[in-house]
Amino acid sequence: MALDLPLLQKTLRELDLDGWLLCDFHGQNPTALEALGLVGRLLTRRFCYLVPAVGEPALLVHRIELASFPKEVPGRRASYSSAASFESAMKSLLAPLARRRLAMEYFPLGAIPYLSRVDGGFLEFVRSLGVEVFSSAELVQRFLCRWSPHQLASHVRALRAIDSAKDAAFEQIGVALRRGLEVTEVAIQKFLLDAFANARLECEHAPIVAVNAHAADPHYETNLAEPTPIRRGDLVLIDLWAREKGPRDVYADITWVGYCGEEVPARAVQIFKVASEARDLGYAALRTAHGEGRTLEGWQVDRRVRDHIGSQGFGERFVHRTGHSLGTHVHGDGANLDDFETHDTRQLVEGLAFSIEPGIYLPEEGLGVRTEIDVVMTPQGPQVFSKIQPEIVRIRC
């Protein structure tokens, strides 16, 4: 299990909660699976696991999965079979609680989707049993999103590997162009995937290699059927993410921009300068707050970054949040840097990691840039363990 039960129960009492009710059906709530160490297990029926603020945890599972449910999950166990027996068993599960103030994977109005994983119908059922439901956001952040020293080390290793792969990819483009050979987005994407394989890394989705107007699409997908050539005078954006293959290893995720030639167009220089200044202001805000003993919330960093881009006249061209949480998935469940897609009020506490990745997208000009770093909130303050791109890379061709 990922949960430290004594510390969790202490935290529940501090938050004035009577317990955390972790429920899942067919993987709808990956938070519950991760918390209980059940990822990849064969579970075909709904289960509920109650961690009370005081006392022994309790599991409710279907009778046919009672014997096979992992023994590593501690606590007393009960089973159900029919719909009627499930309702009766749930009442018994909750009976020892005095007030029934429970955390679940829910967020008011679904405002933060990463935390809204229990379906509305089941919430109605739980509330019908006299439960007052609160968001588990703070518990998820404290107990499932903070990195261990092992995870930090895995991040640094992955970061070094993808940083090296990115440099090699830019060099590969230059070599091909100098030799008069065809080079395409698809070819460079494969080059990066081969580099990941050689470094024993894995990724949830292939990296983005985007030329010119394609770089103005933040989630552009390389077209395998019609490979886009990379030529002299092209802007090339590479966004790549990967992790080592251990079950608790975490992601590294960076984005760099290069230009095939010596003289980068003034417009590209202009918007990259604005984006990189905004990136650096976001990082500086975190470092300043740490030095002053303050803890920022996710939305505050987004606002600092976004306001700078807006002040330079590109506010409407920055069309996504500033950054996302990093974990065993490239988009983790911790605080995001977001005052745009959501209003993320979660604190950026020690142990969390997230990207800072402002972008400016001008599709009508066939141009887009994004610059991305990963920040880890260490005991010594926010730290970046990679190079930080100061200007557009000039690809010698």
pLDDT one-digit tens code per residue, 233-260:
999 999 999 999 999 999 999 999 999 9
Segments of the chain scoring below 50 in pLDDT: none
For residues 323 and 269, membership in a common domain is answered with yes
Last residue of a domain, one of 85, 114, 144: 144
Last residue of a domain, one of 144, 173, 190: 144
Task: Measure the CA–CA gap between 81 and 84, rounded to whole angstroms.
Answer: 8
For residues 119 and 177, membership in a common domain is answered with no
This prediction's pTM: 0.93
C-alpha closest to that of 213 among 224, 199, 223: 223
Question: What are 257's strand-pairing partners?
Answer: 237
For residues 301 and 326, membership in a common domain is answered with yes
Last residue of a domain, one of 128, 144, 160: 144
For residues 383 and 281, membership in a common domain is answered with yes
For residues 85 and 187, membership in a common domain is answered with no
For residues 125 and 231, membership in a common domain is answered with no
For residues 233 and 352, membership in a common domain is answered with yes
For residue 377, the domain's CATH number is 3.90.230.10
Longest dimension (CA), the chain: 76
Task: Measure the CA–CA gap between 258 and 255, rounded to whole angstroms.
Answer: 10
Whole-number pLDDT of residue 114: 87
For residues 73 and 160, membership in a common domain is answered with no
For residues 234 and 99, membership in a common domain is answered with no
For residues 192 and 317, membership in a common domain is answered with yes
Q: How many domains does the chain have?
A: 2
Within 10 angstroms of residue 259's Cβ, the number of other Cβ atoms is 23
The range of the structural domain enclosing residue 215 comes to 149-395
Whole-number pLDDT of residue 343: 95
For residues 124 and 234, membership in a common domain is answered with no
Count, residues in the chain: 397
Whole-number pLDDT of residue 290: 98
For residue 117, the domain's CATH number is 3.40.350.10
H/E element, 173 = helix 149-178
For residues 140 and 271, membership in a common domain is answered with no
